[in-house]
């Protein structure tokens, strides 16, 4: 007699990629004029306690994620890196000094990303394959940065935000993972296409700005209507409403940085419960295994040689 099989209308949930950019509140680009690198040592450190909360939260929801970790933070708090690795998360690089790629020469960029990769691999005792540029600062004007990342041995970048924004973005870049002109896999942050525009739905300040229902709608649309995995990110300082306030920054910078910090952790818990989440390298393992490499250099407007 055949066994009864319950029928379900709900298809299996798509696993989305969850990522954290591991940096402290004084290292963000919005405060770069107020908090120079030379002052960082004297600032109150909050990243360690915020990371404890994040790792506990991921453990509670049984979620593995990718941590794009700043080299400067890893060097001073190696325990954070070791916990990321021992708890089964993916360790990835956010560069060493949190300088936007757009403000660096090729040599400076190369030194920064090389230093971060070496350091993270030494502390974490495992290969570091992923990289995310500070403030999504890779775009049409500096695609050479992708060549550098590949030469140094990264297997993917998650540094292009296909949106129009005053500080970053490459609005006509592909919205889903693609092989760039040099063959490096780029995994863009999530957007929703509305009319002729891409709206940012990948987290950060927009997650704090939008009501939670809107963020949920965006990710559901990416999963259900487009059949794609979303790429979401946040920062440890975004769950820290008590962080010291930085004086002297512009109104816009302060609005962007401090908006709804007290609401973020509760929203994150809903997000973790409502969707299925995983590490970048596991969610995009098929794309990473596709080893397409172009054999000739391409002009920047031919950025995407091959969607994967
Ligand atoms: Zn950052």
User: Residue 20's beta-bridge partner residues?
Assistant: 67, 234
Which residue reads 């936007």 in tokens?
100
- The answer to whether residues 294 and 34 touch, using CB atoms and an 8 Å cutoff, is no
Output the pLDDT for position 135: 93
Output the pLDDT for position 252: 87
Q: Tens of pLDDT along 102-112? A: 999 999 999 99
Sign of the four-CA dihedral 279, 270, 177, 147: negative
294 CA to centre of ligand 1 in angstroms? 30
Number of Cβ atoms within 10 Å of the Cβ of 160: 28
Give the separation between CA 25 and CA 45, rounded to whole angstroms: 9
130 CA to centre of ligand 1 in angstroms? 14
Number of Cβ atoms within 10 Å of the Cβ of 18: 29
71 CA to centre of ligand 1 in angstroms? 11
137 CA to centre of ligand 1 in angstroms? 10
Q: The whole model's pTM is what?
A: 0.91
Give the separation between CA 2 and CA 249, rounded to whole angstroms: 69
Output the pLDDT for position 293: 56
Strands 185-186 and 156-157: parallel
157 CA to centre of ligand 1 in angstroms? 14
Tokens of 118: 């070496």
160 CA to centre of ligand 1 in angstroms? 13
Output the pLDDT for position 278: 98
Instruction: Look up residue 163 and give its DSSP letter.
Output: S
28 CA to centre of ligand 1 in angstroms? 6
135 CA to centre of ligand 1 in angstroms? 6
Give the separation between CA 97 and CA 298, rounded to whole angstroms: 30
Give the separation between CA 77 and CA 307, rounded to whole angstroms: 38
Which residue reads 């300082």 in tokens?
237
Number of Cβ atoms within 10 Å of the Cβ of 280: 27
275 CA to centre of ligand 1 in angstroms? 24
125 CA to centre of ligand 1 in angstroms? 23
Output the pLDDT for position 299: 41
Closest residue by Cα to residue 138 from 103, 111, 175? 103
170 CA to centre of ligand 1 in angstroms? 18
134 CA to centre of ligand 1 in angstroms? 4
The list of the chain residues with pLDDT below 50 reads: 1, 295-302
Give the separation between CA 208 and CA 95, rounded to whole angstroms: 25
92 CA to centre of ligand 1 in angstroms? 12
Give the separation between CA 61 and CA 269, rounded to whole angstroms: 9
Instruction: Look up residue 88 and give its DSSP letter.
Output: T
68 CA to centre of ligand 1 in angstroms? 8
Q: Which residues contact 28 (CB under 8 A, 6 or more apart)?
A: 98, 235, 237, 257
256 CA to centre of ligand 1 in angstroms? 14
CATH fold for domain 15-306:
TIM Barrel (3.20.20)
**What are the φ and ψ backbone dihedral angles of 131, each rounded to 5 degrees?**
-140, 140
131 CA to centre of ligand 1 in angstroms? 11
Q: Tens of pLDDT along 73-130? A: 999 999 999 999 999 999 999 999 999 999 999 999 999 999 999 999 999 999 999 9
Output the pLDDT for position 165: 80
Number of Cβ atoms within 10 Å of the Cβ of 293: 11
């Amino acid at each position: 007699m055949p066994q009864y099989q319950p029928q379900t209308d709900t298809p299996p949930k798509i696993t989305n990629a969850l990522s954290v950019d591991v940096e402290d509140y004084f290292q963000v680009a919005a405060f770069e004029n107020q908090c120079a690198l030379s002052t960082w040592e004297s600032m109150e450190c909050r990243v360690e306690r915020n990371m404890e909360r994040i790792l506990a939260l991921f453990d509670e929801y049984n979620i593995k994620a990718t941590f794009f970790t700043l080299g400067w933070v890893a060097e001073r708090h190696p325990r954070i890196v070791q916990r990321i690795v021992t708890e089964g998360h993916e360790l990835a690089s956010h560069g060493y000094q949190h300088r936007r790629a757009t403000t660096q020469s090729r040599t400076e960029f190369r030194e920064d990303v090389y230093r971060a990769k070496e350091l993270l691999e030494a502390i974490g005792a495992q290969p570091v394959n992923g990289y995310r540029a500070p403030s999504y600062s890779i775009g049409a004007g500096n695609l050479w940065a992708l060549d550098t990342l590949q030469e140094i041995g990264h297997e993917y970048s998650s540094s292009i935000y296909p949106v129009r924004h005053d500080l970053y973005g490459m609005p006509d870049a592909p919205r889903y993972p693609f092989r760039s002109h040099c063959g490096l896999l780029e995994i863009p942050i999530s957007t929703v296409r509305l009319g002729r525009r891409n709206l940012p739905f990948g987290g950060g300040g927009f997650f704090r700005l939008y009501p939670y229902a809107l963020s949920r709608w965006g990710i559901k649309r990416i999963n259900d209507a487009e059949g794609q995995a979303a790429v979401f990110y946040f920062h440890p300082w975004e769950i820290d409403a008590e962080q010291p306030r930085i004086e002297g920054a512009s109104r816009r910078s302060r609005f962007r940085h401090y908006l709804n910090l007290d609401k973020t952790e509760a929203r994150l818990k809903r997000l973790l419960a409502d969707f299925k989440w995983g590490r970048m390298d596991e969610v995009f393992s098929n794309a990473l295994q596709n080893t397409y490499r172009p054999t000739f250099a391409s002009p920047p407007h031919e950025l995407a040689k091959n969607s994967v």
